[in-house]
Amino acid sequence: MFPIEFTRSLQEILPASEAEELCAALEAPSPVSVRYNPYKITDEAPGRAVPWCRYGRYLKERPSFTLDPAFHSGAYYVQEASSMFIGHLYEQAMARIGRNRDAGLRILDLCAAPGGKTTLLATLAGLENIVVANEVIRARAMTLADNVRKWGLGNVVVTNNDPAHFAGLQEYFDVIAVDAPCSGEGMFRKDLQAREQWSPENVRLCAQRQRRILSDIWGSLKPGGILLYSTCTFNRTEDEENIAWLVDQYDCEPIEVELDPAWGIVRSEEAGICTFRFYPHRVEGEGFFAAVLHKADGKVRLRTPKPRRTILVPLPRPAATVVGRWFGQPEHMCFAQAGDNIYGYYGESYPMVKVLSESLSVVYSGVLAGQLFGGKLRPEHPLALFHDLASDSAPSVRLGLEEARQYLRKQEIDVSLLQEGINLVRYGELPLGWIKRIGHRANNMYPKELRIATL
Protein backbone atom coordinates (compact mmCIF):
# COMPACT_ATOMS: atom_id res chain seq x y z
CA MET A 1 0.00 0.00 0.00
CA PHE A 2 1.07 3.56 -0.69
CA PRO A 3 0.56 6.66 1.47
CA ILE A 4 -2.80 8.28 0.67
CA GLU A 5 -1.18 11.68 0.13
CA PHE A 6 1.19 10.10 -2.41
CA THR A 7 -1.60 8.59 -4.51
CA ARG A 8 -3.42 11.92 -4.42
CA SER A 9 -0.27 13.71 -5.59
CA LEU A 10 -0.07 11.42 -8.62
CA GLN A 11 -3.46 12.67 -9.77
CA GLU A 12 -1.97 16.16 -10.04
CA ILE A 13 0.39 14.97 -12.79
CA LEU A 14 -1.54 12.07 -14.37
CA PRO A 15 -5.14 11.27 -15.24
CA ALA A 16 -6.82 9.09 -12.59
CA SER A 17 -6.72 5.96 -14.75
CA GLU A 18 -3.00 6.41 -15.46
CA ALA A 19 -2.27 7.05 -11.80
CA GLU A 20 -3.82 3.66 -11.06
CA GLU A 21 -1.68 2.04 -13.78
CA LEU A 22 1.43 3.63 -12.29
CA CYS A 23 0.59 2.34 -8.79
CA ALA A 24 0.04 -1.14 -10.22
CA ALA A 25 3.43 -0.97 -11.96
CA LEU A 26 5.05 0.04 -8.69
CA GLU A 27 3.78 -3.21 -7.16
CA ALA A 28 5.20 -5.32 -10.01
CA PRO A 29 8.74 -6.79 -10.13
CA SER A 30 11.50 -4.47 -11.27
CA PRO A 31 13.27 -5.10 -14.57
CA VAL A 32 16.90 -6.21 -14.37
CA SER A 33 19.42 -4.16 -16.30
CA VAL A 34 23.19 -3.82 -16.53
CA ARG A 35 25.59 -1.60 -18.44
CA TYR A 36 28.67 -3.24 -19.86
CA ASN A 37 32.17 -1.77 -19.97
CA PRO A 38 33.25 -1.28 -23.62
CA TYR A 39 36.88 -1.02 -22.51
CA LYS A 40 36.72 -4.58 -21.19
CA ILE A 41 34.08 -6.29 -23.33
CA THR A 42 34.65 -6.03 -27.07
CA ASP A 43 32.19 -8.74 -28.15
CA GLU A 44 28.45 -8.15 -28.31
CA ALA A 45 27.14 -8.16 -24.76
CA PRO A 46 24.27 -10.52 -23.89
CA GLY A 47 20.76 -9.28 -23.20
CA ARG A 48 18.23 -7.00 -24.86
CA ALA A 49 19.29 -3.43 -25.59
CA VAL A 50 18.25 -0.49 -23.42
CA PRO A 51 17.12 1.85 -26.22
CA TRP A 52 18.54 5.11 -24.82
CA CYS A 53 21.95 3.68 -23.83
CA ARG A 54 24.13 1.79 -26.31
CA TYR A 55 25.92 -0.04 -23.48
CA GLY A 56 22.77 -0.93 -21.52
CA ARG A 57 21.18 -4.37 -21.54
CA TYR A 58 18.05 -5.89 -19.99
CA LEU A 59 18.43 -9.38 -18.57
CA LYS A 60 15.64 -11.97 -18.49
CA GLU A 61 16.22 -12.68 -14.82
CA ARG A 62 18.43 -11.46 -12.01
CA PRO A 63 21.52 -13.68 -11.69
CA SER A 64 23.72 -13.91 -8.62
CA PHE A 65 25.99 -10.99 -9.47
CA THR A 66 28.06 -11.65 -6.34
CA LEU A 67 29.08 -15.05 -7.69
CA ASP A 68 29.92 -13.81 -11.19
CA PRO A 69 33.66 -13.17 -11.63
CA ALA A 70 32.92 -10.91 -14.62
CA PHE A 71 31.08 -8.54 -12.27
CA HIS A 72 34.11 -8.33 -9.97
CA SER A 73 36.38 -7.67 -12.95
CA GLY A 74 34.42 -4.54 -13.89
CA ALA A 75 33.09 -6.02 -17.12
CA TYR A 76 29.66 -4.55 -16.35
CA TYR A 77 27.84 -2.41 -13.80
CA VAL A 78 24.42 -3.23 -12.39
CA GLN A 79 22.50 -0.03 -13.14
CA GLU A 80 18.82 0.81 -13.27
CA ALA A 81 17.83 1.41 -16.91
CA SER A 82 16.06 4.76 -16.50
CA SER A 83 19.09 6.37 -14.86
CA MET A 84 21.20 5.46 -17.92
CA PHE A 85 19.30 8.24 -19.73
CA ILE A 86 21.78 10.73 -18.24
CA GLY A 87 24.29 9.41 -20.77
CA HIS A 88 21.91 10.24 -23.64
CA LEU A 89 21.41 13.76 -22.27
CA TYR A 90 25.17 14.23 -21.91
CA GLU A 91 25.91 13.15 -25.48
CA GLN A 92 23.09 15.20 -26.95
CA ALA A 93 24.03 18.32 -25.00
CA MET A 94 27.74 18.13 -25.83
CA ALA A 95 26.98 17.64 -29.51
CA ARG A 96 24.62 20.64 -29.50
CA ILE A 97 27.25 22.96 -28.07
CA GLY A 98 29.97 21.50 -30.28
CA ARG A 99 32.09 20.01 -27.51
CA ASN A 100 31.57 16.30 -28.05
CA ARG A 101 35.15 15.85 -29.29
CA ASP A 102 36.92 18.24 -26.93
CA ALA A 103 39.83 17.15 -24.77
CA GLY A 104 40.48 18.48 -21.30
CA LEU A 105 36.83 18.47 -20.23
CA ARG A 106 36.11 18.70 -16.52
CA ILE A 107 32.96 16.87 -15.43
CA LEU A 108 31.55 16.84 -11.91
CA ASP A 109 29.16 14.14 -10.72
CA LEU A 110 28.15 15.84 -7.50
CA CYS A 111 26.01 13.20 -5.74
CA ALA A 112 27.80 10.22 -7.20
CA ALA A 113 27.54 7.14 -4.94
CA PRO A 114 27.37 4.28 -5.60
CA GLY A 115 28.81 5.05 -9.05
CA GLY A 116 26.37 4.23 -11.85
CA LYS A 117 26.34 7.69 -13.42
CA THR A 118 30.03 8.22 -12.66
CA THR A 119 31.14 5.13 -14.57
CA LEU A 120 28.72 5.98 -17.39
CA LEU A 121 30.03 9.55 -17.72
CA ALA A 122 33.64 8.34 -17.45
CA THR A 123 32.99 5.96 -20.34
CA LEU A 124 31.32 8.56 -22.55
CA ALA A 125 33.71 11.41 -21.72
CA GLY A 126 36.79 9.65 -23.05
CA LEU A 127 40.09 8.93 -21.34
CA GLU A 128 41.59 12.35 -22.05
CA ASN A 129 38.95 14.04 -19.87
CA ILE A 130 38.37 13.96 -16.12
CA VAL A 131 35.32 13.05 -14.04
CA VAL A 132 35.17 14.23 -10.44
CA ALA A 133 32.85 11.90 -8.52
CA ASN A 134 31.79 13.42 -5.22
CA GLU A 135 29.91 11.90 -2.29
CA VAL A 136 29.32 13.75 0.96
CA ILE A 137 28.88 10.64 3.15
CA ARG A 138 32.26 9.05 3.84
CA ALA A 139 31.16 5.40 3.85
CA ARG A 140 29.32 5.87 0.56
CA ALA A 141 32.36 7.63 -0.89
CA MET A 142 34.44 4.53 -0.13
CA THR A 143 31.91 2.33 -1.94
CA LEU A 144 32.04 4.76 -4.86
CA ALA A 145 35.83 4.48 -4.93
CA ASP A 146 35.59 0.67 -4.99
CA ASN A 147 33.32 0.80 -8.03
CA VAL A 148 35.55 3.33 -9.80
CA ARG A 149 38.61 1.11 -9.24
CA LYS A 150 36.69 -1.88 -10.55
CA TRP A 151 35.56 0.00 -13.68
CA GLY A 152 39.25 0.60 -14.39
CA LEU A 153 39.38 3.60 -16.74
CA GLY A 154 41.73 5.81 -14.72
CA ASN A 155 39.99 9.11 -15.56
CA VAL A 156 38.07 9.59 -12.29
CA VAL A 157 38.81 11.52 -9.10
CA VAL A 158 36.66 10.46 -6.12
CA THR A 159 36.07 13.19 -3.53
CA ASN A 160 34.32 13.39 -0.17
CA ASN A 161 33.06 16.97 0.12
CA ASP A 162 29.96 19.00 0.86
CA PRO A 163 28.69 20.80 -2.25
CA ALA A 164 29.59 24.12 -0.63
CA HIS A 165 33.27 23.08 -0.64
CA PHE A 166 33.35 23.48 -4.42
CA ALA A 167 32.96 27.25 -4.07
CA GLY A 168 36.73 27.64 -4.47
CA LEU A 169 36.50 26.09 -7.94
CA GLN A 170 34.64 28.98 -9.57
CA GLU A 171 33.64 28.44 -13.22
CA TYR A 172 35.80 25.31 -13.29
CA PHE A 173 33.58 22.53 -14.65
CA ASP A 174 32.27 22.08 -18.18
CA VAL A 175 29.53 19.68 -17.05
CA ILE A 176 27.92 19.19 -13.65
CA ALA A 177 25.53 16.30 -12.98
CA VAL A 178 23.31 16.63 -9.91
CA ASP A 179 21.39 13.43 -9.20
CA ALA A 180 19.81 15.08 -6.20
CA PRO A 181 18.95 13.27 -2.95
CA CYS A 182 15.17 13.00 -3.06
CA SER A 183 12.06 11.43 -1.59
CA GLY A 184 12.58 8.31 -3.72
CA GLU A 185 9.05 7.91 -5.08
CA GLY A 186 10.31 6.36 -8.29
CA MET A 187 12.02 3.57 -6.33
CA PHE A 188 8.98 2.52 -4.27
CA ARG A 189 8.86 -0.98 -5.74
CA LYS A 190 12.55 -1.54 -4.90
CA ASP A 191 12.77 0.35 -1.62
CA LEU A 192 10.01 -0.29 0.92
CA GLN A 193 11.75 2.01 3.40
CA ALA A 194 11.26 4.90 0.97
CA ARG A 195 7.50 4.22 1.10
CA GLU A 196 7.48 4.22 4.89
CA GLN A 197 9.46 7.46 5.14
CA TRP A 198 7.47 9.35 2.51
CA SER A 199 5.43 12.36 3.60
CA PRO A 200 4.46 15.73 2.07
CA GLU A 201 6.75 17.39 4.61
CA ASN A 202 9.69 15.21 3.57
CA VAL A 203 9.05 16.13 -0.07
CA ARG A 204 9.26 19.82 0.83
CA LEU A 205 12.44 19.27 2.86
CA CYS A 206 14.01 17.40 -0.06
CA ALA A 207 13.12 20.23 -2.44
CA GLN A 208 14.72 22.78 -0.12
CA ARG A 209 17.89 20.69 0.14
CA GLN A 210 18.00 20.27 -3.64
CA ARG A 211 17.86 24.05 -4.10
CA ARG A 212 20.66 24.54 -1.59
CA ILE A 213 22.79 22.03 -3.50
CA LEU A 214 22.07 23.71 -6.82
CA SER A 215 22.83 27.17 -5.49
CA ASP A 216 26.06 25.93 -3.88
CA ILE A 217 27.31 24.43 -7.13
CA TRP A 218 26.05 26.84 -9.81
CA GLY A 219 29.10 29.12 -9.52
CA SER A 220 31.41 26.17 -10.26
CA LEU A 221 29.86 25.66 -13.70
CA LYS A 222 31.55 27.50 -16.55
CA PRO A 223 29.50 29.93 -18.64
CA GLY A 224 28.47 27.84 -21.64
CA GLY A 225 28.57 24.72 -19.47
CA ILE A 226 25.94 22.01 -19.04
CA LEU A 227 23.92 21.11 -15.94
CA LEU A 228 22.28 17.68 -15.81
CA TYR A 229 19.61 17.57 -13.09
CA SER A 230 17.82 14.38 -12.10
CA THR A 231 15.77 12.78 -9.33
CA CYS A 232 13.98 9.49 -8.82
CA THR A 233 10.70 11.17 -7.90
CA PHE A 234 7.37 11.95 -9.59
CA ASN A 235 6.22 15.07 -7.75
CA ARG A 236 6.49 18.52 -9.30
CA THR A 237 7.89 20.05 -6.10
CA GLU A 238 11.24 18.28 -6.49
CA ASP A 239 11.20 18.26 -10.26
CA GLU A 240 9.59 20.95 -12.43
CA GLU A 241 9.35 23.51 -9.65
CA ASN A 242 13.10 23.26 -9.05
CA ILE A 243 13.75 23.77 -12.76
CA ALA A 244 11.52 26.84 -12.75
CA TRP A 245 13.37 28.11 -9.67
CA LEU A 246 16.73 27.64 -11.42
CA VAL A 247 15.59 29.59 -14.46
CA ASP A 248 14.25 32.34 -12.22
CA GLN A 249 17.44 32.59 -10.16
CA TYR A 250 20.11 32.08 -12.82
CA ASP A 251 20.77 32.70 -16.50
CA CYS A 252 19.77 29.35 -18.00
CA GLU A 253 19.14 28.39 -21.61
CA PRO A 254 17.45 25.32 -23.11
CA ILE A 255 19.20 22.46 -24.92
CA GLU A 256 17.40 20.54 -27.65
CA VAL A 257 17.40 16.77 -27.14
CA GLU A 258 16.33 14.19 -29.71
CA LEU A 259 13.96 11.59 -28.31
CA ASP A 260 12.39 8.54 -29.94
CA PRO A 261 8.64 8.49 -29.08
CA ALA A 262 8.80 4.69 -29.04
CA TRP A 263 10.87 4.85 -25.85
CA GLY A 264 7.80 5.85 -23.84
CA ILE A 265 9.52 8.76 -22.10
CA VAL A 266 7.23 11.70 -21.40
CA ARG A 267 8.80 14.86 -22.73
CA SER A 268 7.54 18.21 -21.52
CA GLU A 269 8.73 21.76 -20.90
CA GLU A 270 9.10 23.89 -17.79
CA ALA A 271 10.13 27.56 -17.98
CA GLY A 272 11.41 26.89 -21.50
CA ILE A 273 13.57 23.92 -20.39
CA CYS A 274 12.98 20.40 -21.72
CA THR A 275 12.10 17.88 -19.02
CA PHE A 276 11.85 14.10 -19.20
CA ARG A 277 9.76 11.77 -17.05
CA PHE A 278 10.02 8.01 -16.78
CA TYR A 279 6.86 6.28 -15.58
CA PRO A 280 7.22 2.54 -14.86
CA HIS A 281 3.88 1.78 -16.55
CA ARG A 282 5.20 3.37 -19.77
CA VAL A 283 8.90 2.48 -19.78
CA GLU A 284 10.89 -0.56 -18.75
CA GLY A 285 12.58 1.08 -15.80
CA GLU A 286 12.04 2.83 -12.49
CA GLY A 287 10.55 6.27 -11.94
CA PHE A 288 12.94 9.01 -12.97
CA PHE A 289 13.00 12.71 -13.83
CA ALA A 290 15.71 14.55 -15.74
CA ALA A 291 16.40 17.93 -17.30
CA VAL A 292 19.39 19.50 -19.05
CA LEU A 293 20.27 23.21 -18.94
CA HIS A 294 22.85 25.36 -20.66
CA LYS A 295 24.51 28.07 -18.54
CA ALA A 296 24.41 31.25 -20.58
CA ASP A 297 27.66 32.25 -22.27
CA GLY A 298 29.79 34.86 -20.61
CA LYS A 299 33.39 35.70 -19.92
CA VAL A 300 35.08 32.90 -18.05
CA ARG A 301 37.17 34.11 -15.15
CA LEU A 302 40.03 31.65 -15.02
CA ARG A 303 40.67 31.03 -11.36
CA THR A 304 43.04 28.42 -10.06
CA PRO A 305 42.56 27.88 -6.33
CA LYS A 306 45.61 28.38 -4.17
CA PRO A 307 47.05 25.03 -3.11
CA ARG A 308 46.51 24.12 0.52
CA ARG A 309 49.15 21.42 0.53
CA THR A 310 51.25 19.35 -1.85
CA ILE A 311 49.75 15.90 -2.29
CA LEU A 312 51.18 14.48 -5.52
CA VAL A 313 54.91 14.51 -6.29
CA PRO A 314 56.03 13.60 -9.83
CA LEU A 315 58.00 10.35 -9.95
CA PRO A 316 61.68 10.63 -11.02
CA ARG A 317 62.31 9.33 -14.53
CA PRO A 318 64.12 6.08 -13.55
CA ALA A 319 61.27 5.11 -11.21
CA ALA A 320 58.68 6.17 -13.77
CA THR A 321 60.32 3.87 -16.31
CA VAL A 322 59.99 0.93 -13.91
CA VAL A 323 56.33 1.66 -13.25
CA GLY A 324 55.61 2.39 -16.90
CA ARG A 325 56.42 -1.21 -17.87
CA TRP A 326 53.13 -2.23 -16.24
CA PHE A 327 51.08 0.10 -18.47
CA GLY A 328 50.11 -0.64 -22.04
CA GLN A 329 50.80 2.91 -23.26
CA PRO A 330 53.14 4.51 -20.71
CA GLU A 331 53.93 7.35 -23.12
CA HIS A 332 50.43 8.71 -22.45
CA MET A 333 50.80 8.52 -18.68
CA CYS A 334 52.22 10.61 -15.86
CA PHE A 335 53.28 8.93 -12.63
CA ALA A 336 53.18 10.58 -9.23
CA GLN A 337 53.69 9.56 -5.64
CA ALA A 338 51.55 10.27 -2.58
CA GLY A 339 53.21 8.88 0.52
CA ASP A 340 54.45 5.40 -0.41
CA ASN A 341 51.81 4.88 -3.10
CA ILE A 342 52.41 5.47 -6.81
CA TYR A 343 49.56 6.52 -9.10
CA GLY A 344 49.21 6.66 -12.85
CA TYR A 345 47.37 9.49 -14.62
CA TYR A 346 46.70 10.35 -18.22
CA GLY A 347 49.12 13.10 -19.14
CA GLU A 348 46.49 15.62 -20.26
CA SER A 349 44.48 15.30 -17.06
CA TYR A 350 47.32 15.19 -14.51
CA PRO A 351 47.48 19.01 -13.98
CA MET A 352 43.74 19.00 -13.25
CA VAL A 353 44.08 16.10 -10.82
CA LYS A 354 46.90 17.92 -9.01
CA VAL A 355 44.75 21.04 -8.54
CA LEU A 356 41.81 18.98 -7.32
CA SER A 357 44.00 17.02 -4.89
CA GLU A 358 45.19 20.27 -3.34
CA SER A 359 41.69 21.78 -3.13
CA LEU A 360 39.36 18.95 -2.12
CA SER A 361 39.22 15.88 0.09
CA VAL A 362 40.27 13.23 -2.44
CA VAL A 363 39.53 9.60 -1.62
CA TYR A 364 40.94 8.07 -4.80
CA SER A 365 42.23 9.18 -8.20
CA GLY A 366 43.75 7.78 -11.37
CA VAL A 367 45.17 4.28 -11.07
CA LEU A 368 46.82 3.11 -7.86
CA ALA A 369 49.80 1.22 -9.30
CA GLY A 370 51.55 0.09 -6.12
CA GLN A 371 54.76 0.72 -4.18
CA LEU A 372 58.42 0.50 -5.18
CA PHE A 373 60.71 -1.84 -3.24
CA GLY A 374 64.28 -2.40 -4.32
CA GLY A 375 63.64 -0.97 -7.75
CA LYS A 376 60.63 -3.23 -8.36
CA LEU A 377 56.92 -2.45 -8.27
CA ARG A 378 54.70 -4.30 -5.85
CA PRO A 379 51.40 -4.01 -7.74
CA GLU A 380 48.12 -3.08 -6.07
CA HIS A 381 44.70 -4.46 -6.94
CA PRO A 382 43.46 -1.44 -9.00
CA LEU A 383 46.36 -1.88 -11.43
CA ALA A 384 45.14 -5.40 -12.25
CA LEU A 385 41.72 -4.00 -13.19
CA PHE A 386 43.06 -1.07 -15.24
CA HIS A 387 41.84 -1.45 -18.81
CA ASP A 388 45.29 -0.72 -20.28
CA LEU A 389 47.40 -3.01 -18.13
CA ALA A 390 50.42 -4.15 -20.16
CA SER A 391 49.78 -7.65 -21.49
CA ASP A 392 53.27 -8.78 -20.52
CA SER A 393 53.34 -7.13 -17.09
CA ALA A 394 53.18 -10.49 -15.32
CA PRO A 395 52.48 -14.14 -16.17
CA SER A 396 48.75 -14.90 -16.39
CA VAL A 397 46.84 -17.79 -14.91
CA ARG A 398 43.36 -18.40 -16.38
CA LEU A 399 40.84 -19.90 -14.01
CA GLY A 400 37.50 -21.57 -14.58
CA LEU A 401 34.34 -20.46 -12.84
CA GLU A 402 34.74 -22.39 -9.59
CA GLU A 403 38.46 -21.65 -9.31
CA ALA A 404 37.78 -17.96 -9.94
CA ARG A 405 35.22 -17.97 -7.14
CA GLN A 406 37.80 -19.58 -4.86
CA TYR A 407 40.19 -16.77 -5.68
CA LEU A 408 37.52 -14.12 -4.98
CA ARG A 409 36.94 -15.75 -1.57
CA LYS A 410 40.70 -15.47 -0.87
CA GLN A 411 40.95 -19.23 -0.74
CA GLU A 412 43.92 -21.32 -1.88
CA ILE A 413 44.67 -21.80 -5.57
CA ASP A 414 46.58 -24.81 -6.94
CA VAL A 415 50.18 -23.57 -6.79
CA SER A 416 51.19 -25.75 -9.74
CA LEU A 417 49.18 -23.40 -12.00
CA LEU A 418 51.41 -20.46 -11.10
CA GLN A 419 54.84 -19.25 -12.07
CA GLU A 420 57.26 -18.07 -9.42
CA GLY A 421 56.57 -14.50 -8.31
CA ILE A 422 53.61 -12.26 -9.18
CA ASN A 423 50.88 -13.72 -11.41
CA LEU A 424 47.83 -12.02 -12.90
CA VAL A 425 44.64 -14.00 -12.24
CA ARG A 426 42.17 -14.01 -15.13
CA TYR A 427 38.67 -15.33 -15.61
CA GLY A 428 38.78 -16.00 -19.32
CA GLU A 429 40.40 -12.82 -20.61
CA LEU A 430 39.13 -10.66 -17.73
CA PRO A 431 41.68 -9.80 -15.02
CA LEU A 432 40.57 -10.35 -11.42
CA GLY A 433 43.68 -9.48 -9.40
CA TRP A 434 47.12 -10.66 -8.34
CA ILE A 435 48.50 -13.79 -6.74
CA LYS A 436 52.11 -14.49 -5.78
CA ARG A 437 53.85 -17.84 -5.80
CA ILE A 438 56.63 -18.25 -3.29
CA GLY A 439 58.11 -21.70 -3.72
CA HIS A 440 55.47 -24.30 -2.82
CA ARG A 441 52.89 -21.84 -1.53
CA ALA A 442 50.80 -19.04 -2.97
CA ASN A 443 49.79 -15.70 -1.50
CA ASN A 444 46.30 -14.69 -2.66
CA MET A 445 46.56 -10.89 -2.98
CA TYR A 446 42.86 -10.21 -3.48
CA PRO A 447 41.83 -7.41 -1.05
CA LYS A 448 40.26 -8.93 2.05
CA GLU A 449 37.64 -6.15 2.24
CA LEU A 450 36.37 -7.14 -1.24
CA ARG A 451 36.32 -10.91 -0.82
CA ILE A 452 32.99 -12.63 -1.35
CA ALA A 453 31.38 -14.69 1.36
CA THR A 454 31.72 -18.47 1.28
CA LEU A 455 28.39 -20.01 0.23
User: Domain boundaries in the chain?
Assistant: 4-295, 304-376, 394-455
Residue 443, pLDDT > 90, answer yes
Overall average pLDDT of the 243-249 stretch: 96
Q: CA 58, CA 82: separation in Å to the nearest integer?
A: 11
CATH classification (class only), 394-455: alpha beta
**Residue % of the chain over a pLDDT of 70:** 97
**Model confidence pLDDT, tens digit, residues 194-207:** 888 899 999 999 99
Residue 1, pLDDT > 90, answer no
Q: What is the pLDDT confidence band of residue 71, given thresholds at 50, 70 and 90? A: very high
Residue 390, pLDDT > 50, answer yes
Q: CA 118, CA 111: separation in Å to the nearest integer?
A: 9
Cβ atoms of 113 and 137 within 8 Å: the answer is: yes
Residue 85: per-residue pLDDT: 98
- DSSP-assigned beta bridge partners for residue 33: 58
The SS3 assignment for 365 reads strand
Overall average pLDDT of the 29-50 stretch: 94
Active site residue 232: yes
Q: CA 187, CA 285: separation in Å to the nearest integer?
A: 10
Which of 53, 111, 182, 232 is labelled catalytic? 232
Distance from first CA to last CA of the chain, Å, rounded? 35
Cβ atoms of 146 and 72 within 8 Å: the answer is: no
Residue 311: per-residue pLDDT: 87
Residue 306, pLDDT > 70, answer no
Residue 45: per-residue pLDDT: 85
Q: What is the pLDDT confidence band of residue 300, given thresholds at 50, 70 and 90? A: very low
Q: Look at residues 132, 178, 147, 146 and name the one whose alpha carbon lies nearest to residue 359.
A: 132
The overall average pLDDT reported for the chain is 94
Q: Which CATH number among 3.40.50.300, 3.90.1300.10, 3.90.1150.10, 3.40.50.150 corresponds to the domain 4-295?
A: 3.40.50.150
pTM of this structure: 0.95
Name the pairing type of β-strands 266-270 and 156-159: unpaired
Residue 16, pLDDT > 60, answer yes
